[in-house]
Structure 1
Amino acid sequence: MATITIDQVASRISWTTLPVLVDGISTTLQFSPDIIEVLSQGSSTLRSALSTHVNHVLDARVQEHGILISLLAMKSGQLSLVRIEAKIPDPGPEQIKQADEWTASLMQAAYAGIQPHRKFKILVNPVSGKGQARRVFDTRLRPIFEAAKCSIDVTYTTHSGHGSEIAATLPLTYDAIITMSGDGLPYEVINGFAERADARSVFQQVAVVPLPGGSANAFSINLSGPKDGLDPVYATLNAIKGKPIQLDLASVTTLSTRKTVYAFLSVAAGLMAELDIGTENMRWMGETRFVIGYLRGLINLSPRKLKVTIRKPIGDKAQIARAFLNDPPPNCTPLTLVTGDATASVEMPRPEFIDEDDAKGNGDWVTFDKGISYINAGLMPYIARDVLEFPVKQACDGQIHLVLQEPDTRLTMLKSIEMGPRGETFFLNSHHYMKTQALRITPVGSPQKGRDIFAVDGERIPYEGFHMEVHTGLLRSFGMHRTLSTPDVFKEEAKRRASST
């Protein structure tokens, strides 16, 4: 336990302090713009009984001549809810006033720029992942929302599509709809929103925020990183304290029937779709199922029979990397409603380029003329914890990031597993990386058995030609840093390669 001398404490002029009693022991509560500490009085020293980030404070208030602080701190190696109950010594009017002012200042620091006590609709898929989502929510997460004095309305989903049904009629009075699941429930919610006559209004006003509870939790990982994004307690803190962040969506429209669904994460074809949909029966294994599916797919590396056309692609990887490293992040604000009235009913935007002819001779459209092992078209950097597929994708950059992987040697494809967490597949010659606003994928001839799979955010769609188009900044979520996660290791490698050319 750290020991701090009284003189050292006195020298910290940025701290706001309050003397209290905790379990009858003289104690100092203090906070700075970054840290809150509980210091117990010894004979000549103050011993740090607790220290955590001030952003982890959920609530602080004066009650019955005492103070109650609810916060998150590390206990037994994991972020956990902690309650500090303190008494005000000699609680006269002046001391009560001092305590009121101290707690008000603490709350102001803890919620800087954020409205406390948000109102949430929470959907929990009780069978998600390994079937632990309900238990984790009830025992670990619900108490945190309650400690933060959030208003919560919880529904445990009962059937496929339940999330879409709820989202289609959700009142606009909620700050966010929260999903405790994998990536399937956010997909349902987003497509439920898209069905509404006031779709743009609800997307602009109600955030969609994930809590990791499934075998695939890429949405949460992209908001909070591969470590914190898998911690349901940290994800709960993000829901309570995160700042609004605008994210791109993409419409995926079948060319024959013009039926549309919306993607927030990625659209996959070839090996990446097959390993996802083809391992549905292994959900109990968690993310390990994706590795098994990938290894199984390496048995047959023959090209998939697919035609891909891309509208005005940006395909120079060196140029793409330089822009990512040097250009400022996109400055994206929520879509302005065409009527100027934030309460008006405005439907989803129509794909702008869907009626364009992509035949050869149209200079705006380019056909990819190499063999294809898999296709990934992404809207966030990570597609799984260990797969940084789109390392230069930024929030609201208005681009679909497209990977077209040529068949390569099995050794190279195996090495891709090791390279995946760092995003280093970006640098492979067989890994074609482009940015575009729209693309089309069409099956050619009859597919081999087990290869007739297209997937949108991990959900299977009909195996027929489709048009995919980005819709900039349409999705609202919360993030602690208002950016999507890309590790420094990729940035350093990109800088190294740029300096050596």
Structure 2
Amino acid sequence: MSAAYPGVKIQRHLLIVINPNGGPGKAISLFEHKVEPIIKAARCTYKVVHTEYSGHALKIASEIPLNEYDAIVAISGDGTLHELINGFAQHKEPMKAFLIPIAPIPAGSGNGTCLNLLGLKEGQDIAAATLNVIKGQSMPIDLLSILQSGKRSFSFMSQCVGLMADLDLGTEHLRWMGSYRFMYGFLRGILTRKTYRFKISVKIEAADKVAMVEALRKHTSSVPNHKPPPAEQTATTLLPPLQYANDYDGWTTFEGPILFLYSGKGPYVSRDLMQFPVSVPNDGMVDIVIQGSISRAAMWRSLDGAEKGAAYWRDSALYLKASAYRLEPLQEDGNLSIDGERFPFREYHAEVHRGLATLLSMSGRYAVDFTLGPPIPS
């Protein structure tokens, strides 16, 4: 048994939070037919709670007794994880609450967190995700605090405006389609080719794409039993035609017509899109992609290899690692999506808090290998 459970507690006590309405609405069935038999076989003990309203998971996490559960299992999409993390932030002892590991079971539309933890092959495999619940080890992850109109919330996955927010929030009525709704939204965006104006200030920590991949290799090679991706690459990094203003106190400010800004932690945001291929769990930095205006043909070509992170090398996409950034809309209408949740479309400030929250992981890293490739012309 010690060999089968190296370094982890045997027969965990779990709090299982099920969102019956997440994604295609199959969470209860998945639990009863696939998850529960496995955790029973592993002799885990557990308590099951079904969420009954928006914000219920937040309330559960804000009131969770400390030192009672070995992990929280979220059978849902990424939205429930967002609620759990923000519930920890409202706990009477938030720093201790953040140490409780969360283990997701994929039952939503995108399931980006499961894909990052388990990889593209097993990221939607219920049995693999349940095995992570039973045998995964605690892995610290960065969080971003989002300050907007004096109110603070926390983001564990992504923030986006422009096209990527429109295709997410604009297709909520199509959740029954699963991840295919995002493709529908993107195709609609190609037809409209709408651009947006923002003032963006970034505290840049890294901007050289080749150097960022080398940093990824060093990170993955430091994790036991993991083989890093190959190192061959001769590409150079080109910046898109954005209008830069002055630098001040380590911040760079620029504005210009863009298709979208997408920032976040974790390579995958859905199985069809590796948006942040050089992201690592706890480097203290958020990855930011700013896509300049490109033709419809270039937008269509960007679908090729998107699930492998090919767009990382696109010349028209500015890819940065930052410790903080600010975004101010310079127009009235638009969408702001944070971890897939709708937020008011107005100015916000984002700052990274290194290793603040905890997930369960079988490998201690994001299970994504981003292999270097040639730059893609816009």
The alignment status of 1:471 with 2:353, answered yes or no, reads: yes
Pairing of 1:339-350 with structure 2 (within 5 A): none
Aligned partners of 1:224 and 1:119: how far apart in 2?
Answer: 22
Pairing of 1:98-497 with structure 2 (within 5 A): 107-172=1-66, 173-204=68-99, 206-254=100-148, 257-326=149-218, 360=246, 362-447=248-333, 452-487=334-369, 490-493=370-373
The structural deviation recorded for 1:131 is 1.8
The structural deviation recorded for 1:158 is 1.1
Verify the 8 A CA contact 2:117 2:367 in the aligned structure 1: yes
The structural deviation recorded for 1:423 is 0.3
Q: Name the aligned partner's letter for residue 118 of structure 1.
A: R
Identical residues among aligned pairs (%):
37
User: Could you say if the C-alpha distance between residues 361 and 127 of structure 1 is closer, same or farther in structure 2, counting changes exceeding 3 Å?
Assistant: closer
The structural deviation recorded for 1:251 is 0.6
User: Could you say if the C-alpha distance between residues 247 and 424 of structure 1 is closer, same or farther in structure 2, counting changes exceeding 3 Å?
Assistant: same
SS of residue matched to 1:307: strand
Deviations 1:209-252 (A, max 9, x none): 10001112111111001221101111000010011111111011
TM-score scaled by structure 1?
Answer: 0.68
Answer with 282-291 or 211-220: which moved more: 211-220
Structure 1's unaligned 5+ residue stretches are 1-106, 332-358
Verify the 8 A CA contact 2:143 2:155 in the aligned structure 1: yes
Verify the 8 A CA contact 2:14 2:47 in the aligned structure 1: yes
The structural deviation recorded for 1:141 is 1.0
The structural deviation recorded for 1:275 is 0.3
User: Larger relative contact order (C-alpha < 8 A, sep ≥ 6)?
Assistant: 2
The structural deviation recorded for 1:329 is 6.3
Q: Name the aligned partner's letter for residue 401 of structure 1.
A: D
Aligned partners of 2:337 and 2:221: how far apart in 1?
Answer: 29
The structural deviation recorded for 1:304 is 0.3
SS of residue matched to 1:130: coil
Partner in structure 1 of residue 233 of structure 2: none
User: Could you say if the C-alpha distance between residues 274 and 169 of structure 1 is closer, same or farther in structure 2, counting changes exceeding 3 Å?
Assistant: same
Aligned partners of 1:306 and 1:217: how far apart in 2?
Answer: 29
Aligned partners of 2:329 and 2:303: how far apart in 1?
Answer: 27
Q: Name the aligned partner's letter for residue 465 of structure 1.
A: E
Verify the 8 A CA contact 2:204 2:320 in the aligned structure 1: no
Aligned partners of 2:63 and 2:249: how far apart in 1?
Answer: 43
Aligned partners of 1:189 and 1:197: how far apart in 2?
Answer: 14
The structural deviation recorded for 1:391 is 0.5
* Number of residue equivalences: 353
Pairing of 1:7-26 with structure 2 (within 5 A): none
Verify the 8 A CA contact 2:142 2:355 in the aligned structure 1: yes
Aligned partners of 2:203 and 2:106: how far apart in 1?
Answer: 35
Verify the 8 A CA contact 2:198 2:255 in the aligned structure 1: no
SS of residue matched to 1:469: strand
Aligned partners of 1:368 and 1:473: how far apart in 2?
Answer: 29
SS of residue matched to 1:142: helix
Deviations 1:380-429 (A, max 9, x none): 11111111111011110110100000111212211212221110100000
Q: Which runs of 4+ in 1 moved over 3 A?
A: 326-331
Q: Name the aligned partner's letter for residue 16 of structure 2.
A: I
Superposed CA RMSD in Å reads 1.7
Verify the 8 A CA contact 2:200 2:328 in the aligned structure 1: yes
Q: Name the aligned partner's letter for residue 461 of structure 1.
A: F
The structural deviation recorded for 1:374 is 0.5
Aligned partners of 1:128 and 1:326: how far apart in 2?
Answer: 37
Aligned partners of 1:170 and 1:454: how far apart in 2?
Answer: 30
The structural deviation recorded for 1:446 is 2.7
The structural deviation recorded for 1:322 is 2.5
Partner in structure 2 of residue 87 of structure 1: none
Aligned partners of 1:129 and 1:180: how far apart in 2?
Answer: 11
Q: Name the aligned partner's letter for residue 189 of structure 1.
A: L
Q: Name the aligned partner's letter for residue 175 of structure 1.
A: D
Q: Name the aligned partner's letter for residue 272 of structure 1.
A: M
The structural deviation recorded for 1:186 is 0.7
The structural deviation recorded for 1:492 is 4.1
Q: Name the aligned partner's letter for residue 486 of structure 1.
A: V
Deviations 1:273-332 (A, max 9, x none): 11000000000000000000011011222420211110134212222223223456689x
User: Could you say if the C-alpha distance between residues 234 and 117 of structure 1 is closer, same or farther in structure 2, counting changes exceeding 3 Å?
Assistant: same
TM-score scaled by structure 2?
Answer: 0.90
Verify the 8 A CA contact 1:403 1:432 in the aligned structure 2: yes
Verify the 8 A CA contact 1:405 1:430 in the aligned structure 2: yes
Aligned partners of 2:205 and 2:4: how far apart in 1?
Answer: 44
The structural deviation recorded for 1:132 is 1.4
Aligned partners of 1:274 and 1:492: how far apart in 2?
Answer: 30
Aligned partners of 2:366 and 2:320: how far apart in 1?
Answer: 19
SS of residue matched to 1:154: strand
